[in-house]
Amino acid sequence: MKKVWSGLVVLIAICWVITGCQQSSASSGTVEQKLVIEKYIADNQYGHAVKMKDQNQVQKVQQWLKDVSWREEKAEMIRKPNYILHFEPVETKKDIKVQSYRMWVNLGNETVELATDTHYAQLKGKQARSFIELVEPK
């Protein structure tokens, strides 16, 4: 009977360690993503999709978007956005919600307006030009 209990305790300990390792790697590891940038062509069509895969660049764009002063409001513009940006997992097996950002460039690259479904932000001057340089397809 003592061997059964010892075996059961060892089995439970192994399961606990395996489960803990899986959870910590899933929560601490970031999912590798690519940034897809679609440019407005004409007639409600987007094309020239650029897929930025360099993780350093992708993280820079994510940080920019995180640091922007977002307002909780729905943006309605009179024209289509110049660009649509969204992050996708590199491995499509991952089930991750994709956040889209619409981007309007105005006044000779002096103003950038960004919108999600529920938030709006505006970048001006140097901040706008720097963000354009970071994301604009070349």
- Give the C-alpha separation, 42 to 45, whole Å: 6
| CATH label of the domain that carries residue 81 | 2.60.40
- Give the C-alpha separation, 84 to 33, whole Å: 16
Q: Note the pLDDT tens digit of each residue in 61-106.
A: 999 999 999 999 988 899 999 999 998 887 766 566 678 999 999 9
Residues 17 and 55 in one domain: no
| Residues written for the chain | 138
Q: Which range, of 30-34, 55-59, 104-108, averages the lowest pLDDT?
A: 30-34
Residues 86 and 106 in one domain: yes
For residues 14-30, give the mean pLDDT.
Answer: 44
Please give the structure tokens belonging to residue 15.
Answer: 């399961």
Identify the domain containing residue 76 by its residue range.
33-135
Q: Which residues contact 25 (CB under 8 A, 6 or more apart)?
A: none
**C-beta of residue 100 within 8 angstroms of C-beta of residue 114:** no
Residue 101: how many other CB atoms lie within 10 Å: 21
What pTM does this model have? 0.71
Q: How many domains does the chain have?
A: 2
Residues 16 and 38 in one domain: no
Q: Note the pLDDT tens digit of each residue in 110-137.
A: 999 999 999 999 999 999 999 998 887 6
Residues 20 and 49 in one domain: no
- Give the C-alpha separation, 126 to 109, whole Å: 9
Residues 20 and 82 in one domain: no
Residues 76 and 119 in one domain: yes
Determine the 3-state secondary structure of 84 from DSSP: strand
